[in-house]
Amino acid sequence: MKKNTKNKKDNKPKTKEEILKYEIAEELGLMDKIKEGGWKSLTAKESGRIGGIMTTRKKLMKNKIIEVGGQSGLRKTKGYDNSLAHRT
């Protein structure tokens, strides 16, 4: 008898955003917790931390693309602290 794989969730990331989310969760040491209980098992603090790091990295990637595109320096936007771009 063939297993019904249609209902089985595929836990592998598919989009660039999901890949980034998984990478950050791994860096924070949360993958065991996620594998056991899913993303819903994370606390609000843990989820917020992942989201915050994702946002920061997306901004940094966007700025790198702008720099590579021929513009010098970091892009200055209202409310964005360019000093964050130098953190690791």
Instruction: Name the residue among 34, 40, 10 with its Cα closest to residue 22.
Output: 34
- Predicted model pTM: 0.62
pLDDT for the residue numbered 14: 87
How many Å apart are CA 32 and CA 53, to the nearest integer?
Answer: 19
φ/ψ (deg, to 5) at 43: -75, 165
Average pLDDT over residues 54-74: 78
Joined tokens for residue 81: 């602290």
- Contact in structure between 30 and 42 (CB atoms under 8 Å): yes
Average pLDDT over residues 34-46: 96
